[in-house]
């Protein structure tokens, strides 16, 4: 048997689950434990098929809209990406007991938008059209109150009603560098534009991108573990390419990798999007260990200690259904 070639692996850290994702998954798991199956979830709780399928196997039912739910007496959970206000209004009209798994950092952006609107400002949202987080943020306010921009070119074409009374907010999972360029263009065109009190791009997105940057130039190839509809995972792949590792791919599972195609590389970098569980990273390492002799280095740029509290009904002893409903919507 021929000797396996050596392969150095750089594991970027932090990687994988962030506090908002961890909280959202816990909400579904605890709801299943407390209320039994089925528990309905509007949209994928997080953008990862492995996670979604694991929860489906335990009794979670994923829908895109509330009108797909025929039972009115089962818990409904809103995904980590956030929802338009109308969705909560519709849930209350149907007398649903619901749990909101919106990431608290997304909720922060929602509150910022509401404050700017109350103060009479036009709002510019930096984000990706159609992404659930963007749909949810724009849905906090009346139609037309928020203008979506995706590129510097969009900034150049922007014609606000009152250029002196603008504010900007952003999707939490964007490329830090791309967003910086858009913000600089906004400030150049509109010097009085109001910025967020604290950066809207979340700590986990920033940390994962910085970790990839720190490793990319030392790698012959990089694998980002994540789903194609995961914004933060897609941005990690883009950051890897722009930071010097042009051979960077987004992979969902080890079974999707042609390990033989990596023959000849000496150093492989691996990271994972904020909605990808560590078990998928381990699965990919096992796939490479079958063909290569691995030496593994973890390259850490930050420690993450943030956690978010669960919704009140899941923090307290079980109550009768009516009381649970009152707690959830309070």
Do 56 and 11 share a domain, yes or no? no
Does 256 share its domain with 285? yes
Antiparallel, parallel or unpaired: β 76-78 and 60-63 = unpaired
> Do residue 171 and residue 248 come from a single domain?
no
Residue 64 lies in a domain: yes
Tokens of residue 171, six digits: 């999707």
Would you say residue 323 has pLDDT above 50? Answer: no
Q: Is residue 329 part of a domain?
A: no
The answer as to whether 306 is a domain residue is no
How much is the pLDDT for 330?
45
Same domain, 140 and 84: no
Residue 143 and residue 221 in one domain: no
How confident is the model over 212-266, as pLDDT tens digits? 999 999 999 999 999 999 999 999 999 999 999 999 999 999 999 988 888 899 9
The residues near 42 (Cβ < 8 Å, ≥ 6 apart) are 62, 63, 64, 65, 66, 76, 77, 78, 79, 83, 87
For residues 166 and 185, is the Cβ–Cβ distance under 8 A?
A: no
- pLDDT 10s digits, 36-77: 999 999 999 999 999 999 999 999 999 999 999 999 899 999
Domain boundary among 53, 78, 103: 103
Do 152 and 85 reside in the same domain of the chain? no
Kindly tell me if the per-residue pLDDT of 327 is higher than 50: no
Q: What is the largest CA-CA distance in the chain?
A: 73
State the pLDDT at residue 260.
Answer: 82
- Are residues 168 and 99 part of one domain? no
pLDDT tens track for 97-114: 999 999 999 999 999 999
Instruction: Out of 82, 103, 124, pick the residue that ends a domain.
Output: 103
pTM (global) more than 0.85: yes
Q: Does 133 participate in catalysis according to the annotation?
A: yes
State whether 242 and 260 are in the same domain: yes
Look up the domain containing 181 and give its range. Answer: 105-189
Residue 150, judged by CB atoms within 10 A of its CB (0-12, 13-18, 19+), counts as middle
Asked if the structure places residue 84 within a domain, the reply is yes
pLDDT digits (tens, 9 = 90+) for 139-176: 999 999 999 999 999 999 999 999 999 999 999 999 99
296 and 226 belong to one structural domain = yes
User: In this structure, is residue 313 part of a structural domain?
Assistant: no
pLDDT class of 200 with cuts at 50, 70, 90: confident
Domain CATH for 78: 3.40.50.11270
As a whole number, the mean pLDDT across the chain is 94
- Helix (H) or strand (E) run with residue 93 in it: helix 85-93
User: Is 315 within the bounds of a domain?
Assistant: no
pLDDT of the residue at 198: 83
How far does CA 271 lie from the centroid of its chain? 15
What is the C-alpha to C-alpha distance for residues 226 and 240, in angstroms, rounded to an integer? 14
**Residue 152 sits in the same domain as residue 232:** no
- CATH number of the CATH domain containing 120: 3.40.1010.20
Is 245 inside a domain boundary? yes
- Domain co-membership, 109 together with 169: yes
- Give the torsion sign (CA, 18, 23, 28, 29): positive
Which is the catalytic residue, given 133, 150, 188, 282?
A: 133
Return d(Cα 328, Cα 323) in angstroms, integer: 9
When mean pLDDT is compared across 57-71, 83-97, 197-211, the lowest value belongs to 197-211
Is the pLDDT score of 324 beyond 70?
Answer: no
Segment 1-23 shows an average pLDDT of: 92
Residue 231 forms part of a structural domain = yes
Total domains in the chain come to: 3
Other Cβ atoms closer than 10 A to 45: 25
Task: Looking at the structure, tell me whether residues 215 and 253 fall in a common domain.
Answer: yes
């Amino acid at each position: 048997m021929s000797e396996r070639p050596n392969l150095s692996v750089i594991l970027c850290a932090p990687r994988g689950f962030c506090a908002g994702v961890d909280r959202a998954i816990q909400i579904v798991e605890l709801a299943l434990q407390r209320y039994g199956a089925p528990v309905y979830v509007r949209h994928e709780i997080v953008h990862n098929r492995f996670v979604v399928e694991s929860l489906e196997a335990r009794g979670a039912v994923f829908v895109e809209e509330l009108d797909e739910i025929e039972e009115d007496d089962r818990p409904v959970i809103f995904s980590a990406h956030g929802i338009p206000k109308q969705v909560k209004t519709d849930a209350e009209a149907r007398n649903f007991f619901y749990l909101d798994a919106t990431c608290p950092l997304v909720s922060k952006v929602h509150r910022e938008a509401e404050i700017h609107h109350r103060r009479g400002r036009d709002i510019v949202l930096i984000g990706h059209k159609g992404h659930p987080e963007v749909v949810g943020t724009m849905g906090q306010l009346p139609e037309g109150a928020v203008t979506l921009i995706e590129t510097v070119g969009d900034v150049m074409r922007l014609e606000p009603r009152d250029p002196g009374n603008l504010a900007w907010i952003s999707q939490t999972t964007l490329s830090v560098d791309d967003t910086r360029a858009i913000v600089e263009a906004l400030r150049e065109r509109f010097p009085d534009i109001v910025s967020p009190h604290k950066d809207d791009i979340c700590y986990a997105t920033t940390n994962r991108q910085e970790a990839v940057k720190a490793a990319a130039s030392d790698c012959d190839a990089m694998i980002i573990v994540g789903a194609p509809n995961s914004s933060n995972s897609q941005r990690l792949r883009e950051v890897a390419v722009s930071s010097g590792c042009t051979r960077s791919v987004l992979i969902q599972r080890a079974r999707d990798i042609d390990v033989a195609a990596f023959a000849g590389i000496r150093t492989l970098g691996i990271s994972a999007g904020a909605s990808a569980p560590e078990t998928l990273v381990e699965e990919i390492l096992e796939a490479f260990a079958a063909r290569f002799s691995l030496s593994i280095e973890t390259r850490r740029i930050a420690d993450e200690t943030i956690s978010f509290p669960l919704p009140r009904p899941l923090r307290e002893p079980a109550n009768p259904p009516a009381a649970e409903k009152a707690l959830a919507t309070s």
